[in-house]
Amino acid sequence: MSEHENLGRVLALDIGTVRTGAAISDPMRMIAQGLDVWPHSEFKKNFEACVAEYSPTLILVGMPIRTDGSAGPEAKRIEALVNDLKRDYPNLKFETWDERFTTVIAQRAMIAADVSRKKRREHVDKVAAAVILQNWLEFNRALN
């Protein structure tokens, strides 16, 4: 991977059946920041708005792999969605990333920060997307 390919914002998505959490990196790919939680019914509108606002060079999608490493029905659903996005947005680069335990990590971080149960429910998907993205950023930094 060239130095140029390591630059530009990454938009990370934690796609659920009810909501999608979104996070964005800085252009130097150092820090992940949670953006928003989108209702499933507004995914396409919000995705397009994020792409227009942040011009990401990569879309990172959390892949729900089972704890034994296998791909279950949820992983197949996400894979199909990513394939649809690739078809609909051929100029964007997409990558998937193992999202095992990210929701648990997000929940624990919010509990440690004394976030109320109601606020945790509202924000967990956004925080999980930021955890997915930060894990990916750190992994890729270690490779270079």
Q: What pLDDT digit, counting tens, does each position of 130-142 carry?
A: 989 998 998 898 8
Specify the CATH number for the domain of residue 53.
3.30.420.140
Three-state secondary structure call for residue 10: strand
**What is the Cα–Cα distance from 48 to 72, expressed in whole angstroms?**
28
Whether 96 contacts 62, CB under 8 Å:
yes
**102: domain range?**
4-143
pLDDT band at 120 (very low <50, low <70, confident <90, very high): low
Q: Which residues contact 131 (CB under 8 A, 6 or more apart)?
A: 32, 102, 105, 106, 109
> Average pLDDT over the chain, rounded to whole?
85
Of residues 8 and 65, more confidence is placed in 8
Mean pLDDT, to the nearest integer, of 8-36? 94
Tell how many helices (H) and how many strands (E) occur in the chain.
4, 5
Instruction: Give the total number of structural domains in the chain.
Output: 1
Mean pLDDT, to the nearest integer, of 118-135? 79
pLDDT band at 71 (very low <50, low <70, confident <90, very high): confident
Mean pLDDT, to the nearest integer, of 37-62? 96
The pLDDT assigned to 102 comes to 65
Q: How far is CA 40 from the centre of its chain?
A: 14
